[in-house]
Amino acid sequence: MPSQNMHPEDDVAAAFNPMAPEQIENPYPLYTRLRQERPVFYSPMLDLWVVTRYADISEVEKDTERFSSVGALDARAEPHPQVRDILKQGYPQFLSLVQSDPPDHARMRAVFGRALSPQRIAAMEPSIRATANGLIDGFVRDGQGDLIQQFAFALPGFVICDLLGVPRSDMQQLKGWSDDKTLLMSATAPIAQQVESAHGFIAMERYFKELLQARSRKPREDLLTMLVPQSMGGTAPLSEQEAVCNAMDLFSAGHETTTSLLGGGMWLLLESPEQLKAVREDPTLLPNAIEEMLRKEPPVRGFFRQVTRDTTLGGASLPKGARTFILYESGNHDETRFSEPDRFDIRRADAKNHLAFGKGIHFCVGAALARLEARIAFELLLQRLPNLRLRTDEPAVRRPYLMLRGFEHLPIAWDVPA
């Protein structure tokens, strides 16, 4: 127990409970106090060392020797024997890019660098535009709807299916399995639910393994083909296990995060009518507005690292084996880095210095795709839904997740175009 850094009288750290409804809604006033009074602190509830300042978060992300990503997302608790027995049917560990350190990281990242190259992403623009337009066609005459359920969930889901080369009709199934994977990470759900999720996790592994085998027999122009390992006759310098785990991770990493950017970003614009009007009239403001959305409402609240040796950070002593939670959400509101950080300003000159995509070697490999999807989505929604506004009769509902920030429902209304 890291007692040297615990102050029993110190309620500012004890008040940290990212799952409490008021901290899901608006955690920023508490973060301001934490950055000033207890920038790095231990949360006994989460068994995590929470890092709140921009500079300290950057230090963690840059030092992969002291702060490792290997196993950073694994559940802390031992799995229940029933869950363990099911998981034994799959690979012994989850080996993916985001959970790797050098030199494995560079080897895997090279595969993604090719698969998500700027040319390949730019070439997706017409198909993303057609998908977004098709979704809007489905509800444009209704005059009201739920942005998340009718648009922001489906668009990145279809895009990531197209990118991987899996049928769009599998999107709901993949999302279900991806939720199973997330649920197993915390290992806190009731056992029956964990058992069900363990079956889902194994099914997802098999799904991608079979597709990789199919691609090795018959290659296609898709990302799965680029992930086929050399041992299966493909080109990727990956083991079979790494290829499967990376395919699984890519689906989750590329889907819900972008849903949250679309939902959270639209909410910010609708809460700020002059800025909404400005981007509607001048879409060239959109790229910077999207960076500001990522800064103000980062879809990933924070990420984890394992401490590899006893060390100090932000005045706190962290023991070897501890796990840190680098809170992008707080770093993005750090007043020493951004002036008036709680203000949403689409013209903010340094908005793109946000931490929403991470920093250093793990900087989001899908950032260009997420930015492209967001630019197309906001452009078309603002163009095709006149007088877009939040509905006052239905509340917006946020999702209660430790790692992710975003809306489950965002009820909106607009004037039906003539």
Residue nearer to ligand HEM on the CB measure, 57 or 198: 57
Return d(Cα 392, Cα 75) in angstroms, integer: 40
Whole-angstrom distance between the N-terminal and C-terminal Cα of the chain? 66
The H helix count followed by the E strand count for the chain is: 18, 12
Binding residues among 212-251 for ligand HEM as defined by CB under 6 A: 250
DSSP, collapsed to helix, strand or coil, labels residue 234 as: coil
Residue 367 exposed, middle or buried by CB count within 10 Å (0-12, 13-18, 19+): middle
**Strand-by-strand arrangement of the 40-43 sheet:** 40-43, 48-51, 323-326, 303-307, 67-68
**Minimum CB–partner distance for residue 141 and ligand HEM (Å):** 29
Residue nearer to ligand HEM on the CB measure, 86 or 163: 163
**Minimum CB–partner distance for residue 303 and ligand HEM (Å):** 4
Contact region for ligand HEM (CB under 6 A) — 43-51, 77-85, 147-155, 359-367? Answer: 359-367
Residue nearer to ligand HEM on the CB measure, 5 or 64: 64
Q: At which residue do the structure tokens 């949403």 appear?
A: 344
Contact region for ligand HEM (CB under 6 A) — 140-148, 172-180, 353-361, 377-385? Answer: 353-361
Residue nearer to ligand HEM on the CB measure, 18 or 366: 366
Instruction: Provide the angle, in degrees to the nearest 10, between the axes of the packed helices 286-296 and 240-270.
Output: 100
Among 31, 67, 151, 357, binds ligand HEM (CB under 6 A): 357
Return d(Cα 65, Cα 102) in angstroms, integer: 9
Residue 263 binding ligand HEM, by CB under 6 A: no
Return d(Cα 79, Cα 77) in angstroms, integer: 6
Q: At which residue do the structure tokens 């559940």 appear?
A: 75
Residue 318 exposed, middle or buried by CB count within 10 Å (0-12, 13-18, 19+): buried
Return d(Cα 301, Cα 303) in angstroms, integer: 7
Contact region for ligand HEM (CB under 6 A) — 13-21, 74-82, 254-262, 407-415? Answer: 254-262
DSSP, collapsed to helix, strand or coil, labels residue 305 as: strand
Q: Which of 9, 18, 12 is nearest to 325 (CA)?
A: 18
- Per the structure block, which two tokens stand in for 313? 């950070």
DSSP, collapsed to helix, strand or coil, labels residue 144 as: strand
Among 52, 58, 64, 69, binds ligand HEM (CB under 6 A): 69
Question: Distance of CA 364 to CAs 63, 77, 370, 371, Å?
Answer: 17, 28, 10, 11
Q: What is the DSSP letter of 140?
A: T
Contact region for ligand HEM (CB under 6 A) — 48-56, 134-142, 226-234, 350-358? Answer: 350-358
Contact region for ligand HEM (CB under 6 A) — 27-35, 197-205, 253-261, 313-321? Answer: 253-261
**Minimum CB–partner distance for residue 387 and ligand HEM (Å):** 27
Residue nearer to ligand HEM on the CB measure, 2 or 287: 287
Residue nearer to ligand HEM on the CB measure, 109 or 129: 109
**Minimum CB–partner distance for residue 71 and ligand HEM (Å):** 12
Binding residues among 80-119 for ligand HEM as defined by CB under 6 A: 97-98, 109, 112
Among 30, 253, 286, 380, binds ligand HEM (CB under 6 A): 253
Contact region for ligand HEM (CB under 6 A) — 24-32, 190-198, 235-243, 361-369? Answer: 361-369
Residue nearer to ligand HEM on the CB measure, 254 or 411: 254
Among 211, 300, 318, 327, binds ligand HEM (CB under 6 A): 300
For residues 280 and 239, the answer to whether their CB atoms sit within 8 Å is: no
Number of residues that bind ligand HEM (CB under 6 A): 24
Among 94, 303, 378, 414, binds ligand HEM (CB under 6 A): 303
Q: What are the residues facing 42 on neighbouring strands?
A: 49
Contact region for ligand HEM (CB under 6 A) — 363-371, 379-387, 388-396, 400-408? Answer: 363-371
User: Pairing state of beta strands 323-326 and 48-51?
Assistant: parallel
Provide the binding-site residues for ligand HEM, judged by CB under 6 A.
61, 69, 97-98, 109, 112, 250, 253-254, 257-258, 261, 299-300, 303, 356-358, 362, 364-366, 369-370
